[in-house]
Amino acid sequence: GGGGIGMLPVRGTDEIAAAWRQAQSTAAKAFGASELYFETLIDAPRHVEFQFLADRHGQVRCLYERDCSVQRRNQKVVEEA
């Protein structure tokens, strides 16, 4: 969900049912809909963003990249360019 709302790590099949129920409840309260999907959990990922500038003539430039991996509760704390 937005800002990590409703994201729950599941590390074993025995955790799926309880996590699913909890995530559905959270999604319904936060977003008014309880549809969910699974994603593969990647432990210790890097969050890198790229800033591009483009004009109407098709010229595109990558201005810089920034590391946004420092997060707290799935929210960026530091963006380092």
Q: What is the pLDDT of residue 79?
A: 65
Query: Residue 81 and residue 67: Cα distance in Å, rounded?
Result: 7
Distance between alpha carbon 19 and the CA centroid of its chain, in Å? 17
Residues facing residue 54 across a β-bridge: 60
Question: Which residue among 10, 20, 26, 76 is the active-site one?
Answer: 76
Instruction: Map tokens 């025995």 to a residue.
Output: 14
Q: What is the pLDDT of residue 15?
A: 95
**Which residue ranges make up each domain of the chain?**
1-43, 44-81
Q: Can 76 be counted among the known catalytic residues?
A: yes
| Terminal Cα distance for the chain, rounded | 26
Tens digit of pLDDT per residue, the chain (81 long)?
567 777 889 999 999 999 999 999 999 999 899 899 888 988 888 888 899 999 999 999 999 888 877 776 666 777 665
pTM of the model: 0.57
